[in-house]
Chain A
Amino acid sequence: MPQLLLELFSEEIPARMQAGAARDLERMAREHLAKAGLEAELVSFGGPRRLTLVAEGLPRSTPDREEELKGPRTSAPEQALEGFLRKTGLSKAQLTERDGTWFATLTTPGRATADIVAEMVPAIMTSFPWPKSMRSGTTAFRWVRPLKRILCLFDGRVVPFEAGGIASGDLTEGHRFMGGDHAPFAVRDFASYRAALRDHSVLLDAAERRRLILDGARIACAAEGLELVEDEGLLDEVSGLAEWPVPILGRMDPAFLDLPAEVIRTSMRTHQKYFAVRDPKAGGLAPRFVVVANIEPKDGGAVIAAGNAKVLSARLNDARFFWDQDRAPGSFEKWLDKLKGVTFHAKLGTMAERVARIEALAREIAPLVGADPELAGIAARYCKADLASGMVGEFPELQGVMGGYYMRLLSPSRGGEALGEPMTGLSQAEKAGEGVSAPRGSEDTGGASPDLRFDGVANTPNPDPSPLEGEGRGVIADAIRDHYKPVGPSDSVPTAPVTVAVALADKIDTLVGFFAIDEKPTGSKDPYALRRSALGVIRTVLSSQLRLPLTSRFEFAAMVLEDPRFPAGLDGMMLSRGSLKELVPFFADRLKVLLRDEGKRHDLVDAVFALGDDDLVRVVRRVEALTDFLATEDGSNLLAGYKRATNILKAEEKKNPAEAELYRLTEQLGALTTPEEEKLAAALRVEVGAVDEALEAEDFTRAMHHLAHLRAPVDAFFETVLVNAPDPEVRMTRLRLLTQVRDTANRVADFSLISG
C-alpha cells in the first residue's frame, strides 16, 4: 500500500510544544482522512526543527460511489421528467423504471488520495493549534516560527500544493551545524528519510533522543563514580533542544557547594537546563553537572564544558549574592513589611493580611492536631516571609524551602510582637516603632545587635524561654519549609504537628477566602488550584488521622476573614456566607475522587456523606467498614431486605401521605400477631441499642456486625408476613417494624444510596 510522508520544517520549535504539536498533527490528519473516507496507520514525530507525519495503508484513490436517485412517476407530466434529467445530467435512456417511477443511478468517481492530501495539509496548517504563533515577513500565514520547507510525498511522488507561501517538494535538511555539507537533500519514502536524517546527524524520534541522553549522562557520571540526579521534566525538555544530543560532564567550582542543594539544582535546571550530579560516597551533590549539547564537538567537548562551567559560575554567583543578602540581620522584618505591599487578591487583601489570618487559624487548629499553638503561630507568621526574599524572587519554586533555611540561620527580632496575643499580633507589629523603643531587659547588655536575636522574652508577661531557642526553631523552620505540602498527588504530606497546623491553616484560609468571594472552581477552570488545596487538606487529615470537623474550621476561618478587629478584617458585605455552605460538599467530592482512586465504591462514599458527617477520618472508617460489610452474605442480604422495606414504606406513604408520620411512632408497636414479628421486634430491641453504642464508640465494624443480626429476622419476616394486613392496627405495627429496620440501617449509612 502507498505511504504518505509529510515533514513541516521550520526554525526552532519551542521544546515544550513539540510533543503536543506532533499529536495535533496526527489527530488532525486522522480526522481529515476520515472525512474523505480514508483510514491509515499514522505515526508522528516532533523535534527541534520539524514535525513529521507518516501514514501507512492508504489506497491510491477512494472508491467510486454509486447513488440511486428517485425521480418522478412515469405518469407525471413531461416537465417533471425534464427537470429530473436536468438535475441529474442524464438522458432519458440512462434512467431505469421501477414500479412506475423513474430512477437515476449517479456515479461519483473516487478521488486520488494525493488530491485529498493536497487539500488536507494546507487546511491543517492554517488551523494548526499552536499555543502561540506568529507571522513572518509580509505573509499572513501563522506558524510557531518561520516555516522553511514542506516535504510531502505520496507513493514516492511529490504531492504538489502550496501553503504559507511555500511549495511542497521532496527536500529536507539535516543538522544545522554537523557534517560538512549543509545542502538540502531529497528523500523517497519514510525509510530513506529517517536513514538520511541519521546520516545528517538528526535523530527523528524524541524517545530515541531521550534514551541517548539518559544513557550517555548515566555513563558519564558512573565513569567518575558519581550518579546522575534524574529529572523527567528536564529530560523531556532537553530532548527537544537538540537534534543530535551529546551529554557532556562539566565541572563546577566546589566552593559553591556550600549553597543549599536546592538552590544549586534549581539554578542548574531553570536557568541552564543542566542535570545535577550526586556523589553517593560523600552524600550530597558533586561539583559536576551534565549539559546536553547539540553537536559532537571537534575537540571532544572541552570548550563546551568550560564555557558552560563559566556560565554556571556566574549564575551561582548571583545565587550567592541573594543567599548572602537574604541572611542579613533584620531580613525577616523587612520581608514581613514588604508583604504589606503585596496584593494576594483584590478582594482578599494583602499577603500580610493573609499571613495574619493563617496565624490565627494555625493557633486555633494547633491543639486539635497536637501542636504547640505558640510554635504554630510563630511558624505561620513567618511562613510567607521568604516570598519577599531575593532568592525566592529569582527562583519562585524555592518558596518555603528558603524560608526554612533562613529560619534556621537567622533570628527574627522584635519578638515582643512576635509572641503577641493572636488576634492582635500583627497590628502590634505594625506599631513596630513602639516595640523597638520599649525598654528592654537591662540584663541584655552583651554587645549583640538587637536584631541578631529573638528577644521576645522582653515583652511577655511571663519570661518563658523563647520558642525560637532549642528545638522550637527547628520545628518552626520545618513548618515553614513544608507548609505548602502536598504540592501534587505524588508529593508527601506533612506529619509534624506544627507543620500540619500551618499547612492546614494556609489551605483552609485559601479555600474559605475564595469560596467567600464566590471564586469557586467551575468545570475545568480552577485558577486558584482550590481542588488541589482541598485534596491537600484531606490527605493531611487522613494521613495523621486527625479528628478535625471541617464545618467549624470553615466557620472560624470565615469569622477571621470578617472580623473588623483583625488587621485582615474585610468588609463583611463582600463575603458570601452562602457559598461557604458549598465547601463541605466540595470536600465530599474531592474525597470521593480520592477514595475512588483507591478503588472504593463512590455510592458507598455518598451513602456515608449523606449522614452529614464532616469528620473525614470517621467518614473514611465508615466507608471502609461498609465496604467490608457489603462484601459479606449478611451484608448483601440485609441490603436487599432494607431495599424491600423502604420500597414498601415509600409505596404506603405515597398512598396515605397523612399517615406517614404515624409509621415513625415505633415505640407504640401494637400487637405482634406472628412469631416472625415477635422475633424481628426482639432483635430490634437488642440490636438498635447495640448499633448505637458501637456507633458512639466509632466502632463501625461492630455496628455493622450488630446490623447483620437483623438479617435473619428480616428475611423470615418478608417470607411469611403480609405487611398490608386487612386489620389496620396489625398493618400499622408491621409498617412500624419496617420503619425501625430502615432507620437503624440509616444510622450506619444511607443505604438507599447504595446500588445493587
Chain B
Amino acid sequence: MTAGKPTSFQGLILTLQSYWAAQGCLILQPYDVEVGAGTLHPATVLRALGPKPWRAAYVQPSRRPGDGRYGENPNRLQHYYQFQVILKPNPADMQDLYLGSLAAIGLDPTVHDIRFVEDDWENPTVGAWGLGWEVWCDGMEVSQYTYFQQVGGLDVEVVAGELTYGLERLAMYVFDVDNVYDLPFNDPQSPAHKSYGDVFLENERENSAANFEGYDVDMLKRQFEDMEREVPRLLAQHGPQGQPLVLPAYDRVLKASHLFNLMDARGAIAVAERQSYIGRIRDLCKACAALWVDIERSAA
C-alpha cells in the first residue's frame, strides 16, 4: 500500500491497484495487443460473459490514432492509459467502493463536487452496451461507470459493473497540471525524475505522423482483410480439449479493430463505408463471444 495521497502518475496507478487489490480484485497487467479502450481486454469483454464471478483491475494503454496531435495539444493523446476495474456480479455497494477509490487518491467529496451524470455506454464494434454514468469531479469526467447489459451481441447472464478511469486526465486534476506532458511520471524527489513528456512526447510525435500520414493504406487494408479471414478459420479449429480457438481468434478481432482505427485516421474510410466496417468487426466479435460462452458454461 502506498501511504497517503500519491505524488506522481505512477503513484496514482499504484494507489488504485492497492485499493482494488484490497477489494479482492486480481491485478492483471496490460494486454499485449493494441486496443482502443481498456474494455476490449479479454479480461473485461470475454469475462463479462458467462456465469462465473470475476473481479479484476488493470492498467491498459489505449490507442486512438485519430486523437493524436503530434504532441502539441496539452490534453489529447493517441496513446494513453486507462485504469479498468470489473466487478462481476456488481456488488450492492459498488458506488461506495468507487467513491472510496477517489478518496484514496485524494479527492475529498466534501470539497470537490462529485456527480453521477447519465451516460449510456455503447461500443458498436464489440456489440456491447450498458447503463451507467460519467462521473464528474468539478465538471470534469474522471471515470466511466457502466453496468454491462449486453456484450458481443449477447445479453449478459450476470451483470458486471465496469469502471474506467482516464488516468492522465485524472492525474492532471489531482496534481493540478495543465499540460499532460508536465505530469510527474515518478516521484519528483527521485534522482531520476521523469515527466510524462520525457517518457511519451517523442512517441506522440512519431506515432501521430505515422497515423495520419505514414502508414500504407493498402497494407492496412490487406492486413485487415487477413485478420478478418483468420477469425472464422481459427474458430473452426480445435484445441486439445476440443474447444474452438476463441482466444487467438479474439486477438485477431482486436488487430482488425486497430487496423480499422488506423485506416480511419489516415482518412481512408469513406463515410458510407464506416458502418459496414464496424459491422464486419462486430460480426467477428459476436462469433467469438458466442463460442466463449459455450466454453465458460461447460467448465462452470
Residues of A whose CB lies within 8 Å of any CB of B are: 11-12, 14-16, 132-138, 144-146, 148, 176-178, 241-242, 272-274, 291, 293-295, 297-299, 303-304, 306-308, 310-312, 314, 317-318, 321, 338, 341-343
Contact = CB atoms under 8 A, between A and B. Distances in A.
Contact of B140 (A16, A293, A307): A307
Contacts of B138: 303-304, 306-308, 310-311
B117 A241 contact: yes
Interface string B135-152: 001111000000101000
Given A134-B147, A291-B139, A307-B138, A297 B95 contact: no
A239 to B, nearest CB: 13
Interface stretch (B22-30, B107-115, B191-199, B255-263): B107-115
Nearest to A302: B111
Contacts of B133: 12
Contacts of B271: 338, 341-343
A343 B114 contact: no
A135 B149 contact: yes
B75 A298 contact: no
A318 B48 CA distance: 35
A173 to B, nearest CB: 12
A136 B90 contact: yes
A343 B273 CA distance: 11
B110 A138 contact: no
Contact of B118 (A14, A295, A311): A14
Contacts of A291: 113, 139
A12 B116 contact: yes
Contact of A177 (B75, B110, B117, B140): B110
B158 interface: yes
B66 interface: no
A416 B114 CA distance: 57
Contacts of A15: 117-118
7 contacts: A132-B120, A133-B131, A136-B90, A146-B92, A178-B110, A304-B113, A307-B140
A304 B91 CA distance: 30
A11 B117 CA distance: 11
Given A134-B130, A135-B159, A241 B139 contact: no
A16 B120 CA distance: 13
Interface string B98-113: 0000000000011111
B70 interface: no
B147 A307 contact: no
Contacts of A137: 89-92, 158-159
A449 to B, nearest CB: 22
Majority-rule SS of A interface residues: loop
A305 to B, nearest CB: 8
Interface in B249-281: 270-272
Nearest to B271: A341
B130 A297 contact: no
Given A241-B117, A294-B115, A341 B270 contact: yes
Contacts of A274: 139
Contact of B113 (A144, A146, A148, A294): A294
Given A11-B95, A14-B118, A311 B140 contact: yes
B92 A307 contact: no
B206 interface: no
Contact of B75 (A146, A317, A341): A317
A138 B89 contact: yes
B178 interface: yes
A307 B149 contact: no
Contacts of B270: 341
B272 A241 contact: no
Nearest to B149: A134
Contacts of A134: 130-131, 147, 149, 159
A299 B118 CA distance: 27
A297 B90 contact: no
Interface string B71-97: 001110000000000000111101100
Given A11-B95, A16-B118, A312 B139 contact: yes
B31 interface: no
Nearest to A178: B110
A248 B147 CA distance: 32
Contacts of A242: 115
B207 to A, nearest CB: 19
Given A134-B159, A294-B113, A308-B138, A148 B178 contact: no
B215 interface: no
A739 B146 CA distance: 76
A177 B131 contact: no
B137 A136 contact: no
Nearest to B146: A134
A442 B291 CA distance: 70
B148 to A, nearest CB: 9
B54 interface: no
A305 B242 CA distance: 60
Given A295-B110, A304-B111, 11 more contacts: A12-B118, A135-B156, A145-B147, A177-B110, A177-B114, A308-B138, A308-B139, A310-B178, A311-B139, A318-B75, A341-B271
B173 interface: yes
A295 B113 CA distance: 6
A424 B149 CA distance: 52
A303 B110 CA distance: 11
Contacts of B112: 297, 303-304, 307
B109 A295 contact: yes
Contacts of A310: 138, 140, 173, 178
A293 B158 contact: no
A16 B114 CA distance: 19
Contacts of B73: 317, 321
A14 B133 CA distance: 9
Q: Which 10 A-B pairs have the closest CB atoms?
A: A307-B138, A14-B118, A12-B116, A308-B139, A137-B89, A293-B113, A134-B131, A311-B139, A341-B271, A311-B140
A297 B139 contact: no
A145 B112 CA distance: 24
A48 to B, nearest CB: 8
Contacts of B178: 310
A331 to B, nearest CB: 16
Contacts of B130: 134
B95 to A, nearest CB: 6
B131 A132 contact: yes
A297 B111 contact: yes
A633 B142 CA distance: 74
Contacts of B92: 137, 146, 148
Contacts of B158: 137-138
A298 B147 CA distance: 32
Nearest to B141: A311
Nearest to A250: B139
B106 to A, nearest CB: 12
B140 A303 contact: no
Nearest to A137: B89
Contacts of A16: 118
Contacts of B116: 11-12
A146 B97 CA distance: 15
A15 B158 CA distance: 27
A589 to B, nearest CB: 36
Contacts of A311: 138-140
Given A132-B120, A135-B149, A146 B90 contact: yes
Contacts of B74: 317
A134 B149 CA distance: 7
Contacts of A304: 111-113, 138
A438 B138 CA distance: 57
Contacts of A308: 113, 138-140
A298 B108 CA distance: 10
Contacts of A299: 111
